[in-house]
Structure 1
Amino acid sequence: MSDYTIDVQGLTKRYGDRTVVDGLSMQVERGEIYGFLGPNGSGKTTSIRMMCGLLTPDAGSGHTLGLDVVREAGAIKRRVGYMTQRFGLYEDLSIRENLDFIARMYGMDRRGERVAQSLERLGLASRAEQLAGRLSGGWKQRLALATCMLHEPELLLLDEPTAGVDPGARRDFWNEIHVLAARGITVLVSTHYMDEADRCHRLGYIAYGHLVASGTPAELVEHSGLASRVADDIDDAQLVAAIEHDPAVSTVTRLGNALRASGPDAAALDAALAQHSDARWKPVPPTLEEVFIHHSRQAADNYA
């Protein structure tokens, strides 16, 4: 059996004249947490749906859980848990009733026992009779994860699962994801949060339909080719604007009264900063955020 839960080559999806995903090739190992990053409209959700059998690619091939993504899409869907961006459960049903409904949908045996186990495993037992519509964002997220895991999938596909959730709930969610991965479940998660990207084993960055970078968080920073500088006690809006518009500068970030700047050419970056400011700029390692913003600005927009 292959060591890859996901192994796809050249996946392409078009809507009219627009190519939303263009020749996507990637591999995700079993038991791995793979982070999928990219700007809105970059093709992340479309890619995920092709991999889990919800969308048929217009070109390309590959396997998910050893099953062909084109010919065996139905079988893939039965072995995958998919958590969408929006809460999609019945708000006028209780937590227990929602889980029982999902168990019926899958035709599961021992429904009551499995629902009870799911409630306990994700800390929902004390709220089992509460209506889903009255839950906070963090508890709705926990319920959505419980429904994804009810049929014991081998692969979890999570599409921006923590959007709009407070930091404490996000931390608890990610602790649970690592527990699942330790049990051998593969997780593909799309996110915009850089602290979540750091929690993944490997990352892929997709921009305008193309996978432009992949690797561990450390590898992506190390191989980015970016140089970064920081200076303290800068609070000059005009200076910041001038630095931002310099072609040698990829990103400018305010951190209180400190300022960070990065660019692909260290010498050109230093010359640009010296031209605009007499501040003392210190070299620092680039951040994941700087790397990904640089990649997105280098990619060509496929909207037209």
Structure 2
Amino acid sequence: MRNLTKKFGDFTAVNNVSFDIREGEIFGFLGPNGSGKTTVIRMLIGLITPTSGSGKVLGYDIVKESEKIRLNVGYMSQKFSLYEELTVEENLDFYAGVYLVPKDVLRQRKKEILEMADLVGREDYITSTLSGGWKQRLALGCAIIHNPRFLFLDEPTGGVDPVARRQFWDLIYRLSEKGVTIMVTTHYMDEAEHCNTIGFIHYGNLLALDTPGNLKRQKMRGHIVEIKCDRLMDSLELLKTVPFVIDAAVYGAGLHTVVEDAGRYLGDIRRLLEGAGINVHSAKHVKPSLEDVFVFLVEEKSRDKVSTEIK
């Protein structure tokens, strides 16, 4: 992708985004709902036309050769694009027809997919009766029935339980090991740890692009202090007023506070909160998570925007 932009009237959904995805890697595209992830995918597979910029998928131009792209990639949308009234096997047969799978290889492909998705013995189940996890696996099977070299997964684990999420990622790993290139969008930061490369997008702008390890090592300014305490929101508001606190946010059942030097300010944070009558259970220096990095980048972008507007 080079300088890819999509506008809907006066609204810019994707703003001048550029990146490469290497063959065989798992590329994670992260961002909150409405950040532009799905719009990027829909441009890459030719479902919508970019306002400006360019891109190629498997060597095919996203504007001029979109039909060739759609026949050679797999796409699993946010909502499982299955026909609920059809059986498992009928859904596979339908998508095999859409992707022009030759009849002489279809039987073998269905056998491989049913085994991969652990759906053997469920071929005659009506799709609407399947659990979320089974539907998820079936939707993936339909997306790869034609053995694509590139697979687009748009928030594929939304709405399924943690066990189903883990099982689904096991399937993604297996496909990647076979050489399939995978672009997966998610807003689950723990899933991003499984990706080779991560792109952070926020309100259509690409904030960062690197490996999970490099993002955590290079994109954070300062140290993270993890705090477990009572009156979480009162503590958060108090910490945000302190000059040496770069940023603070709720993290799980506690707080993550960004400071320039954890060794120097750890004691000051505890004394500050306890002085306000807040019971502090623990305060310690921890390594940043991808969620910390993303929050920091978003806040930094907001600060830069405010600074520019003031100027």
User: TM-score, length-normalised on structure 1?
Assistant: 0.88
**Alignment pair present for 1:173 and 2:168:** yes
- Say which of 89, 109, 113 aligns to 1:114: 109
- Secondary structure, in 3 states, of the residue corresponding to 1:55? coil
The CA deviation at 1:194 is 1.6
- Secondary structure, in 3 states, of the residue corresponding to 1:283? strand
Residue-pair matches, total: 292
Amino acid across the alignment from 1:73:
S
Q: Distance in 2 between matches of 1:68 and 1:165?
A: 35
What is aligned with 1:298?
300
What value does the CA root-mean-square deviation take over the aligned residues? 2.4
**Alignment pair present for 1:241 and 2:237:** yes
Amino acid across the alignment from 2:215:
L
Amino acid across the alignment from 2:224:
S
What is aligned with 2:309?
none
Query: Residue 236 of structure 2 contacts residue 248 of structure 2 at CA under 8 Å; is this kept in 1?
Result: no
Query: Residue 33 of structure 1 contacts residue 181 of structure 1 at CA under 8 Å; is this kept in 2?
Result: yes
**Alignment pair present for 1:9 and 2:2:** yes
The CA deviation at 1:254 is 5.0
Identity %: 42
Match runs of 1:32-43 below 5 Å = 32-43=25-36
- Secondary structure, in 3 states, of the residue corresponding to 1:230? strand
Gaps of at least 5 residues in structure 1 are 1-7
Amino acid across the alignment from 1:250:
D
Q: Distance in 2 between matches of 1:172 and 1:213?
A: 28
Gaps of at least 5 residues in structure 2 are 275-279, 306-311
Amino acid across the alignment from 1:120:
E
Match runs of 1:116-135 below 5 Å = 116-135=111-130
What is aligned with 2:277?
none
Query: Residue 208 of structure 1 contacts residue 299 of structure 1 at CA under 8 Å; is this kept in 2?
Result: no
Q: Aligned pair in 2 of structure 1 residues 54, 245: CA closer, same or farther (>3 Å)?
A: farther
- Say which of 223, 226, 248 aligns to 1:251: 248
- Say which of 210, 222, 229 aligns to 2:225: 229
The CA deviation at 1:286 is 1.2
Deviation string, structure 1 residues 13-71 (Cα, Å, up to 9, x no partner): 00001111011100110000010001111111001111122221111112111111121
What is aligned with 1:5?
none
Amino acid across the alignment from 2:236:
V
What is aligned with 2:215?
220
- Secondary structure, in 3 states, of the residue corresponding to 1:127? coil
- Secondary structure, in 3 states, of the residue corresponding to 1:54? coil
What is aligned with 2:289?
287
